[in-house]
Amino acid sequence: MTASISFALNHIAAPRLGAAAFFALARELGLGEVEIRNDLEGVPILDGTSATAIKAEAAAKGVGILSINALQRFNEWTKARETEARTLAAYARTCGAGALVLVPVNDEAFKPGESARRAGLREALKELRPILDAAGIRGFVEPLGFMISSLRSKREAVEAIDHIGGGEVFHLVHDTFHHHLAGEPQMFPERTGLAHISGVTDPTLAIADMRDAHRVLVDAGDRLGNLAQIRALRRGGYAGPFSFEPFAESVQKAPDIAAQLSASMRFIEAKA
């Protein structure tokens, strides 16, 4: 690959930073795009910061907002989920975010039959489509590789999207962690709207035991095959950003987070 890799930053990488500091961190790293979240205590969006304030702060720091992460349990469609989807879509439209990430139910207690589970996914996508259309944003469906996830397969997500004729609105999130856990060989780069990257370096972990808390930055010790996944996505035509999404506290609380992120970017650029 000769073209440079485009990176982005998910707020989970530095969850204690407010919006201004988070956007400034992205710019310090030379990044022009970020993902904001609705699940971080004490910072936007949960702290009540308005969408207009976020838009102004992002513009002041010179960053664009890729997505809001996320509408959780999206494939368990209820009246409450619809209300939440409308609220998040309106926030995304106002703050300038281009998409809303859609995360499936990841709950051992959620056990619909196979037919009901698939029908629920199609129903949720069908109901979400006009909401996203009205807001002028896209929906990024993110299959989760955990064994208890109600949507592990990207192929199943694509089939459901095509079933409702939603290919212009819905795209995939390719998460390197979840792709490795799911063990699904096909990547669907042409259907991918966003890629999340993180690594796992603990040599003692079985794949079935890998959790979000183990997700660090990508380096030479990575066990997830990030470099191979990045190469395959780019060869397949994906030209979008690779957004850092580490959940490990060792990264989130690092006093030198900017240096660590910069080192990971240099490693990936050199090897991928």
How do residues 7-22 score in pLDDT, each as one tens digit? 999 999 999 999 999 9
Average pLDDT, the chain: 97
Asked, for residue 2, whether it belongs to a domain, the answer is no
What pLDDT band is residue 102 in, cutting at 50, 70 and 90? Answer: very high
The yes-or-no verdict on residue 69 having pLDDT over 70 is yes
Query: Distance (Å, rounded) from C-alpha 219 to C-alpha 223?
Result: 9
Asked, for residue 1, whether it belongs to a domain, the answer is no
- Given a contact cutoff of 8 angstroms between Cβ atoms, the answer to whether 211 and 258 are in contact is no
What pLDDT band is residue 2 in, cutting at 50, 70 and 90? Answer: low
Task: Give the number of other CB atoms < 10 A from CB of residue 127.
Answer: 15
Question: What pLDDT is stored for residue 150 in this prediction?
Answer: 98
Which structural domain range is residue 133 located in?
A: 8-196+228-271
Summarised one tens digit per residue, pLDDT across range 42-51 is 999 999 999 9
For tokens 């407010």, name the residue: 18
For tokens 């795009």, name the residue: 33
Query: Distance (Å, rounded) from C-alpha 98 to C-alpha 230?
Result: 22
Asked, for residue 36, whether it belongs to a domain, the answer is yes
Q: Which residues pair with 37 in a beta bridge?
A: 69
Q: Give the chain's domain count.
A: 1
The yes-or-no verdict on residue 191 having pLDDT over 50 is yes
Asked, for residue 190, whether it belongs to a domain, the answer is yes
Burial group, residue 108, by CB count within 10 angstroms (0-12, 13-18, 19+): exposed
Summarised one tens digit per residue, pLDDT across range 206-223 is 999 999 999 999 999 999
Question: What pLDDT is stored for residue 3 in this prediction?
Answer: 77
- Given a contact cutoff of 8 angstroms between Cβ atoms, the answer to whether 58 and 65 are in contact is yes
Report if pTM > 0.85.
yes
Q: Which residues pair with 71 in a beta bridge?
A: 102
Burial of 212-247, coded b for 16+ CB within 10 Å and e otherwise, reads eebbbbbeeebebebbebbeebbeeebebbbbbbbb
- Given a contact cutoff of 8 angstroms between Cβ atoms, the answer to whether 7 and 244 are in contact is yes
Task: Assign 194 to helix, strand or coil.
Answer: strand
Task: Give 128-184 as a DSSP string.
Answer: HHHHHHHHT-EEEE----STTBS---HHHHHHHHHHTT-TTTEEEEEEHHHHHHHT-
The yes-or-no verdict on residue 93 having pLDDT over 70 is yes
Asked, for residue 76, whether it belongs to a domain, the answer is yes
Asked, for residue 223, whether it belongs to a domain, the answer is no
Asked, for residue 102, whether it belongs to a domain, the answer is yes
Q: Indicate which CATH number applies to the domain containing 262.
A: 3.20.20.150
The yes-or-no verdict on residue 1 having pLDDT over 50 is no
Outline where the chain has alpha helix (H): 19-28, 51-61, 79-95, 114-135, 154-163, 176-182, 226-235, 249-252, 257-271
What pLDDT band is residue 133 in, cutting at 50, 70 and 90? Answer: very high
Asked, for residue 78, whether it belongs to a domain, the answer is yes
